[in-house]
Structure 1
Amino acid sequence: MSDPDLDDLRAELADFAQSEKKIGRTPREERIIAGFEEIQRFVDEHGHEPQHGEDRDIFERLYAVRLDRLRALEECRSLLALFDRQDLLTGAEATVPASAEEMDADALMAELAGAAGESEITELRHVRSAAEKRAAEEIANREPCPDFDRFKPLFEQVRIDLDSGVRTTRQFVKDAGFLKADINEGQFFILGGQVAYVAEVGETFRAPNGENDARLRVVYSNGTESNLLRRSLQRALYKDEAGRRITEPTAGPLFTGDSDDEDIASGTIYVLRSKSDHPVVAANREVLHKIGVTGGDITRRLANAKLDPTFLMADVEVVATYTLYNINRAKLENLIHRIFGPARLDIEIRDRFGNPVVPREWFLVPRFVVDDTVEKIKDGTITEYAYDPSSARLVERSALPPSGDLA
């Protein structure tokens, strides 16, 4: 059998070829189809139909309005029936939002204009949802704090209090009893990884939703500040999974008639003086003291002082001891260190292996102030006082300016 020539072969194949169906569409119809395909791509990518709502992305909201209108117009349903592989046009008789009801066919064409254009329009490079905008407004309005030097000691003291256990942190959640209005001047929070201090609270006013609100001046530990609403701070703390409330400093039950695992029958406050020849120590020897609390034998604890960097790698002498009964040693020691925190010695010592160590229990405090402190611990009035390094004495907290209340 001879091979067929090309013309015969073409004729043979024509019998099997499916005739190409040419459909002439108007520009209007092409735009409707292109707009519908945008919705289909959204559904493919997100797994659900576009939804209405202020918290939704602007393009999702636009697609939702578009779909509602396409469902409502018989002309569009008929045109798109062959393309509706996701059954998006089902339920066309459903209630259509007012925004779609008000859109006539020409308005729909204008809304669909550009839907078949460049793909960048759906990349949302410069478009944020309402929720994102609100979140950004709550934190992006921070600016440098011009008088941060006033607040820096407060943040340092909070850090010390947290390290020593005088303060703790609690999750900021509604079911813990923290109401929206439970944000007051002088409180500390953790927001976005920064410690936030409520420096000022403005006048209370009624918000559009009927709840009370106020403008706050909030200073952050990174040296910035913002003026935001109390409800905005409360909302930001709820949203931040790491958002925390920092508790107020409290000594807790120093003395108690009931014992528990943390309480002991007695404890000893000790005051030590260093024999180190370090220049800083030698220059301040008479007022430099290590103050701590122990339940054991002090002499035994001091046996190897010259090998211990917490004792400045030198022998020490016991200046005074005070024995107390039914106390919580850890809380008592934290309280004492918090009171004398502003006078803590800033010194770095090398241990016997050459590693740097910063001792935390040495304070530039005269002996008579320690005596006064112990007496106030005994009568329960110590929480009303703070140590003032400038006058080297205890002063009532009420007499200290807000920026000077470091203890």
Structure 2
Amino acid sequence: MSDFNLDELADELADFAPAKKKQTSYTPREERMIAGFEDIVRFFEEHGRVPQHGEDRDIFERLYAVRLGRLRELEDCRALLASADLHGLLSGPSTPAHGAELDIDDLASELVGLDEANDITRLLHVRSAEEKRAAEEIARRDKCHDFDKFKPLFEQVKQDLAAGTRVTRPFELKAEIRPGAFFIVGGQISYVAEMDDIFTNAQGRTDARLRVIFDNGTESGMLMRSLQRQLHDDDAGRRITDPAPGPLFADRSEDGVSEAGTIYVLRSESDHPFVAEHREVVHKIGVTSGSVEVRISGAEKSSTYLLAGVDVVATYKVYGVNCQKLEGLLHRVFAETQLDLTIPDRFGHVVKPREWFVVPLPVIDEAVERIRDRSITAYRYSPNAGRLVSTD
């Protein structure tokens, strides 16, 4: 085999080289059109459809939909992009955006500052469409046209907080969100004026549409889970308790009414598998005429306290009532969710503690509030509904 000179070999291959493309010069506007259309083509190839308008769409899809509509309307754009339109995207009808007219610059402005690379298809921290809708729902508020009806409620709540007849507590569970409840969120007092029927969302979680009034005269039709998320995300988010309406639950005795005792709610430190897994909702509910601290001393040696230490999570002073009857009333209200658990006592005898219930703390709070207004006898706790329900 003869040796080949590299120059000779290059000469022989030159005839087979593809013809060089003529260098085309584009204006900045044309370059933007081409780059923007390439984004639309890439979207079509990834999703198998043209981008669509709609608030339920991702911000990028909405941007591409507006852009495609503009390109279809301009003849010079169609001519410029004809060779790149392999899928016939420019030949379709121009579809207007639903609702208010959208501007591509307005949409693009929503993306400003998210990424310094100016490539909107490679943003690193863009929220999903679902997250964006949730944030928009929380932020979207309208003027409350009947605020005069609610203004006295806010004024009374502020007076109650100043007088100490209402207090604020950390927000814990979704069950605390109910009609008539007040919260502090985003530095404003909010009032749950209405709640629609509870439904199950696409993720299998319960939710409900609310009408929430804010003390600045605005309102929102947010979802219950949106308010829950906002309260959890706000380090200063709090719930406002209902007022204590007299000596039965006052902080001190009044008019000579002597203190009868304390309703107490405990959580167990037991390592029993069921208790450990559901510790946040397994509570002992009792009423004592003495000191709670004395009552729970030596808990780790008593089967009544599951042979473990306990934490006091809530107490309520009571005046002028029969503690034994009050305790029996509370136990009847929560009877359907009594903890079905047997353990051996320290002597080896099997016992079944009867004062433990699987119920969230906010529901116990509500039961206490209904004792205050004497309506508790018309309610019981439903484990299926996860709330107090009327017995009527």
Range of TM-score over shorter length: 0.3 to 0.5
TM-score, structure 1 as length reference: 0.39
Rg larger for: 1
